[in-house]
Amino acid sequence: MFENALQLYALVLYKNDPARITKVGKKIEIETANGRFSVRPKDITLLHPGPLTNLTQLAMPDMAEDDVQMAWELLSGGTTTLAELTELIYEAFTPQTAWAAWQLVADGLYFSGTPDEILAHMAMRVLAEEETRAAKAAEQEAWEAFLARMQKGEYTEEDAPYLNEIANFARGQQERSKVLRALGEKEEPEHAHALLLKLGYWDAWVNPYPARLGAPTTDPDVPLPALLDEERRDLTHLPAFAIDDEGNQDPDDALSWDDGVLWVHIADVAALIPPDSAADLEARGRGANLYLPEGTVYMLPPAATAQLALGLSDVSPAFSFALSLTPEGGVTLVEAVPSWVRATRLTYAEAEEQLTEEPFAALLAASQAYTAQRIANGAVEIDLPEVRVKVVDGVVEIRPLPNLHSRELVRDAMLMTGEAVARFALQNQIPLPFTVQDPPLPADNLPDGLAGEFARRKLMQRSQQSSIPGAHAGLGLPLYVQCTSPLRRYLDLVAHQQLRAFLRGEAVLDEQALMARVGAADAVSGSVRAAERLSIAHWTMVYLQQHSEWVGEGVVVEQKGKRSVVLIPALAWDGRVSGERPLNSAVSLQLTGVNLPQREAFFRTA
């Protein structure tokens, strides 16, 4: 561009900023607004040969917008040099005017390029760029107005995109939040939740946890094949009882007693959903039903429940297990057959009232013998308060679950089936997802009462599925397979698919294919369980908000420094109060506040 190369006091460009050459040699020494540097020639770009005595000389000269417009229109579509462009606009080429002209090039609206070759943009490109800049300016103006409203705790309808960004972050659907950063808030889902509540954009009825944990929030919509056409044993002559919680919508098991043989009938899901079918793959990706206080999200299409759940129709298809029992609590699988059953639905409370009548008396006796054997084998029975949390018509209900023999009866029948099926699978080398659990962690001198039960629960180790049979220490069983809830748990369905294939003389999944399914279910079931647990905590806090003057009783179950952990039986909730108190002592509590996003309730002793 110039006859002379880089020379003393020339104006150059260094990292997009102006610089002045102060020494020329193998290395070029330059002066910038940020200090002096030694650079290579290729690190700088010559803008004007100088001399430039001081960088302060580069103050912008007077310039009319018309002069720039005229120069652009004259050069539009063509190329020029920095010197020519400078002279065209300013009628003089000095360090000051050269720097001013370069700012126009760097701006990029009318011109772009290098000092030696500057392109004057065509009109369409300039128009598009002007529109883009106007849109960005409007967006920035809206952003700044939004932040100003946020500082006042206000928002308008036009702020919905920004508020939805916060909501998506609160639900765990994006990793960062521009809004929270701009407001100086911590980028944590709980802080986003708190902000949305403070603004009134969310209310307490928004439960963010299923989405935050990646759990499904809608029922699957996949086609179901026709029910497998096969011969079924007619067991409709046996009274069958589907016993469950009041309001249950997916009864998948029923019990019959036939002259000393316990029949456990299970919804025959595998007859409708074979391995690798569309519904099977969908269930594999969900792992289990998601039971929330506000409703259930199913792992299978709702039509599966309508066709298969026991007692929803006069006669239901089932997969029935005949179990031979010994007086000492031993159990053996006699046969497993596809069947037709006629199930009568009962609540636990209704069954409890009939325990002195047959067949319930016989079922209860078998249950008690089985429980005694399990306890003798080291089963861990933890007796802590349980409640059921439901959202009904805008009201949160918390109801205690009473300790009923009928509930234990059904539990033991399911455990008997799991043990008998596990033994059958081991004897016949059928790969199944066995459920195993290591013994509890060791502990000395556990306290009595609720404090002891609370401590014992903490010692329990997590159960897991394995292709290798093993003991389930918590249940006191040498072998165990979960196989009685194929409508609700995917690995139960896999167990049924394997049993059906074996009994029909068909190929079963090998161990590798089985464990791939176990891995897929494990990958999601943890999120499902966590979503259930956190959702229950959320709605418990909403319940307390609805009962802001709540008072009740807690029991001290643990000491944490200068604070006591109290278990509230009516809520199945543990909180903290100040002060040290004896374990198992009763404490009268009064609610003082709730932090919904953090799922914390605060109490004082009354």
Strand partners, 555: 567, 586
Whether the predicted pLDDT of 75 surpasses 90: yes
334 with 387, same domain: the answer is yes
User: How many other C-beta atoms can be found within 10 angstroms of the C-beta atom of residue 36?
Assistant: 12
User: Within a domain: residue 87?
Assistant: no
For residues 240 and 265, what is the distance between their CA atoms, to the nearest angstrom?
A: 8
Residue 538 in 3-state DSSP? helix
What does the block give as tokens for 475?
């249940």
User: Within a domain: residue 499?
Assistant: yes
Sequence-ordered strand ranges (E) for 293-357 = 295-297, 316-325, 331-341, 343-347
Longest dimension (CA), the chain: 114
What pLDDT was estimated at residue 247?
82
Whether the predicted pLDDT of 2 surpasses 60: no
Q: Record the pTM.
A: 0.84
User: Within a domain: residue 408?
Assistant: yes
Per the CB < 8 A criterion, the answer to whether 235 and 294 are in contact is: no
- Mean residue pLDDT of the chain comes to 94
396 with 512, same domain: the answer is yes
Q: CATH number, domain at 581?
A: 2.40.50.140
178 with 244, same domain: the answer is no
Domain-ending residue, one of 479, 505, 538: 538
By residue range, what is the domain housing residue 590? 547-605
What does the block give as tokens for 544?
């307390």
Residue with tokens 């940020």: 34
CA distances from 362 to 325, 347, 406, 408 (A): 11, 18, 12, 14
Sequence-ordered strand ranges (E) for 275-315 = 290-292, 295-297
For 537-574, write each residue's pLDDT tens digit.
Answer: 999 999 999 999 999 999 999 998 889 999 999 999 99
Whether the predicted pLDDT of 379 surpasses 60: yes
User: Within a domain: residue 58?
Assistant: no
For 197-212, write each residue's pLDDT tens digit.
Answer: 999 999 999 999 999 9
What average pLDDT does the segment 9-21 reach? 94
For residues 596 and 20, what is the distance between their CA atoms, to the nearest angstrom?
A: 61
Q: Residue 420 is inside which H or E element, if any?
A: helix 405-428
User: Within a domain: residue 14?
Assistant: no
What average pLDDT does the segment 353-357 reach? 96
What pLDDT was estimated at residue 66?
81
What average pLDDT does the segment 323-343 reach? 95
Per the CB < 8 A criterion, the answer to whether 216 and 286 are in contact is: yes
Whether the predicted pLDDT of 141 surpasses 50: yes
Please spell the DSSP secondary structure of 434-475, one letter per residue.
Answer: EEEBPPPPP-SS--SHHHHHHHHHHHPPPPEEESS---BTTT
What average pLDDT does the segment 481-494 reach? 97
For 416-463, write each residue's pLDDT tens digit.
Answer: 999 999 999 999 999 999 999 999 999 888 999 999 999 999 999 999
For residues 22 and 28, what is the distance between their CA atoms, to the nearest angstrom?
A: 8
403 with 284, same domain: the answer is yes
Domain-ending residue, one of 514, 538, 562: 538
173 with 285, same domain: the answer is no
User: How many structural domains is the chain composed of?
Assistant: 3
For 235-278, write each residue's pLDDT tens digit.
Answer: 999 999 999 998 888 899 999 999 999 999 999 999 999 999 99
Residues 6+ apart with CB under 8 A from 218: 297
For residues 98 and 181, what is the distance between their CA atoms, to the nearest angstrom?
A: 40
User: Within a domain: residue 62?
Assistant: no
For 166-189, write each residue's pLDDT tens digit.
Answer: 999 999 999 999 999 999 999 999
503 with 576, same domain: the answer is no
466 with 586, same domain: the answer is no
Nearest 5°: phi and psi at 118? -110, 125
358 with 400, same domain: the answer is yes
Whether the predicted pLDDT of 122 surpasses 60: yes
Whether the predicted pLDDT of 383 surpasses 80: yes
Please spell the DSSP secondary structure of 14-55, one letter per residue.
Answer: ETTEEEEEEE-SSSEEEEETTEEEEE-GGG-EEEE------G
What pLDDT was estimated at residue 3?
44
Whether the predicted pLDDT of 376 surpasses 80: yes
* Through-space distance between the first and last CA atoms of the chain, rounded to whole angstroms: 88
What pLDDT was estimated at residue 248?
83
The DSSP letter of residue 228 is P
Q: CATH number, domain at 185?
A: 1.10.10.10
Domain-ending residue, one of 512, 538, 564: 538
526 with 556, same domain: the answer is no
Bridging pattern class, strands 240-244 and 261-267: unpaired
281 with 404, same domain: the answer is yes
- Percent of the chain whose pLDDT exceeds 90: 90
463 with 344, same domain: the answer is yes
397 with 469, same domain: the answer is yes
What average pLDDT does the segment 216-240 reach? 93
Q: Kindly indicate the confidence band of residue 38, based on its pLDDT and cuts at 50, 70 and 90.
A: very high
What does the block give as tokens for 384?
């802590």
User: Within a domain: residue 113?
Assistant: no
User: Within a domain: residue 222?
Assistant: no
Preceding amide of 359 cis, omega within 30: yes
Nearest one of 220, 310, 208, 173 to 490, comparing CA atoms? 220
